Amino acid sequence: MWQAGGGFAGTALAGMFGNDFFAKQAVAADGTDETAVWKNPLLPKDPDFAPKAKSVIFLFMYGGPSHIDTFDYKPALIGMDNKTIKVKTFGRGGHKNQGRIVEPRWKFKRYGECGKWVSSLFPHVAEHVDDIAFIHSMTADSPIHGSAMLQMNSGEILSGSPCLGSWINYGLGTVNQNLPGFVVMLDKRGGPISGPKNWSAGYMPATYQATQLRSKGTPILDLAPYKIQDSTQRKMIDTIQAYNRDHFIDRGDNTNLAARIASYELAYKMQASAPEAVDLSQETAATKAMYGLEHPQAGYFGKQCLLARRMVERGVRFVQIYSGGNHNDANWDAHGDLKLNHDLHAMETDQPIAGLIKDLKQRGLFEETLVVWGGEFGRQPTAEYAKGTGRDHNAYGFTMWMAGGGIKGGVSIGKTDELGAAAIEDRFHVRRIHATILHQMGVDCNKLSYFFGGLDRRLVGVEGSEPIPQLISSV
């Protein structure tokens, strides 16, 4: 009788949970239940409200560019070179209460109608300051590359969570079924620390992870079809898909199977569409020159920026380009010679970024394409070592900027202290950047969730967040 009573209670409890808890666990990636037939999880979905942007291009300056040497002008540092002062910092070298000032090595001057101060590192980008919104009071939770990059990409300092591009494709699908919805391009010196974790779909189906686009050789590996007739290959794919769909009927909660079905079809379609999308021979000489393709330093990143424009032009939702590889001084991580480091990486990226903005504007794509620039953190006003000009990591205050996609131009938001050591006014956590990006894409960051591990997970955390209102244009 005791066992039977427990059974009756369990039945009632299961009934209470049936429409909520267990139902959520049985829902497949595309929103259908486990008994439904398969459908492509990347089909376009309606946004929560009218979007300002259709696509995002995230220009990721891996290593941590120095805000006080680029876009956050600090005249108080002038004349303080090598002076030891009291200042609280936290970086790779741990917590410190004092440090030796490194005066900025570049001159600043005003640009545009907004009068924005920009250093001589970015003369081409400086010409577009009236189109850009600068956020000078960014903060993050970690001053260590691996965890900070994961947070900038996924909202979490630990690996295993979906990245921003995955969330966007999960929430909105993709409008071009012949190309990936999420594309990533790496530096010529290799990828960033943690590698694919930075563009992974995490606990979501693999369908939502990024496709890596290479700037050398074949843009996408294994893109060329095997030496068989197209009709024969189509029959082979259709046969495989038919078996997969039959197999899926009783396994609707198998997200890996759903992803595999989608990947077969996308791979086949990409063989026809991707070669045209990455064919830069269709571009004019003037366009290539605008991106700096013939420049010995800027050419590689310029090609990536041009490919990014071609991707969003064809409906790709999210494109991420990394400046900086993962070895020695191959990224923006200026622990040693600050000037040598930043001169190199700014020269590689300045003209291509400016060319991208100009090209998007002249093609009528700027207002529907959100361009984001930034690294995982900034750098300190003080030197890391007893000698030299290198700066340690700084997650207490740093700069990012946005342009296009319904973002106000010619504005600067937030403030760091007079030395640039920490944000002191309108401090914005990384989650606020994520919330703003989702908002411009027509997605409510507090509604977009994925049930995993007993929680409705969100990019902005289970506690929620909100976009930065000062960035958003009312037009």
pLDDT at 178: 80
Residue 266 confidence (pLDDT) above 70: no
Residues 364, 368, 371: CA angle, nearest 5 degrees: 105
Q: Which helix (H) or strand (E) covers residue 339, if one does?
A: helix 338-362
Return the pLDDT at 319: 97
pLDDT of residue 222: 61
Instruction: Find tokens 């890596």 and name the residue.
Output: 212
pLDDT cut 90: percent of the chain above it: 69
Cα dihedral 347, 132, 436, 424, rounded to 10, equals 90
pLDDT band at 269, cuts 50/70/90?
low
pLDDT of 5 strictly over 70: no
Tell me if 103 is assigned to some domain.
yes
- Domain holding 172, by residue range, is 47-220+278-471
225 within 8 A of 233, measured Cβ to Cβ: yes
What is the amino acid identity at position 190? G
pLDDT in tens, 69-92: 999 999 999 999 999 999 999 998
Instruction: Say what the pLDDT of residue 4 is.
Output: 44
CB 350 within 8 A of CB 35: no
What pLDDT was estimated at residue 221? 63
pLDDT of residue 44: 92
Whether 190 is in a domain gets the answer yes
Q: Are 168 and 209 in contact (CB under 8 A)?
A: no
Is pLDDT at 264 greater than 70 in this prediction? no
Of residues 240 and 174, more confidence is placed in 174
Q: What is the mean pLDDT of residues 202-229?
A: 75
Q: Residue 462: name the closest of 440, 437, 443, 445 by CA.
A: 445
The tokens for 109 are 């001057």
Model pLDDT for residues 280-310, shown as the tens digit of each residue: 889 999 999 999 999 999 999 999 999 999 9
Q: Is the pLDDT of residue 325 over 70?
A: yes
127 vs 1: which has the higher pLDDT: 127
Confidence at 389, pLDDT banded by 50, 70, 90: very high
Q: Within a domain: residue 149?
A: yes
Weakest-pLDDT range from 41-45, 151-155, 321-325: 41-45
- Domain-located, residue 251: no
For residues 154 and 17, the answer to whether their CB atoms sit within 8 Å is no
Q: What pLDDT was estimated at residue 19?
A: 41
β-bridge partners, 415: 425
CATH of the domain at 116: 3.40.720.10
Higher pLDDT, 16 or 393: 393
Report the pLDDT value the prediction gives residue 255, as an integer from 0 to 100. 66
- Continuous segment of H or E residues that includes residue 95: strand 94-100
What integer is the mean pLDDT of 392-411? 97
Query: What pLDDT, on the 0 to 100 scale, is given for residue 207?
Result: 87
Domain presence at residue 362: yes
Helix axes 299-313, 338-362, angle to 10 degrees: 30
Q: Give domain status of residue 81, yes or no.
A: yes
Confidence of residue 59 (pLDDT cuts 50, 70, 90): very high
When pLDDT is averaged across residues 128-144 and rounded to a whole number, the result is 98
Report, as an integer, the average pLDDT of 269-276: 63
Average pLDDT, the chain: 87
Contact of 170 with 447, CB cutoff 8 Å: no
**Torsion 143-149-154-157 (CA) sign:** negative
Give a yes or no: residue 413 inside a domain.
Answer: yes
- Look at 246-260, 365-379, 439-453 and tell me which has the smallest mean pLDDT: 246-260
> Does the residue 399 lie in any domain?
yes
Mean pLDDT score, 404-431: 97
Residue 9, pLDDT > 50, answer no
Q: Is the pLDDT of residue 443 over 50?
A: yes
* Number of structural domains found in the chain: 1
The answer to whether the CB of 168 falls within 8 A of the CB of 440 is no
Identify the CA nearest to 52 among candidates 370, 356, 363: 370
**pTM for the full model?**
0.86
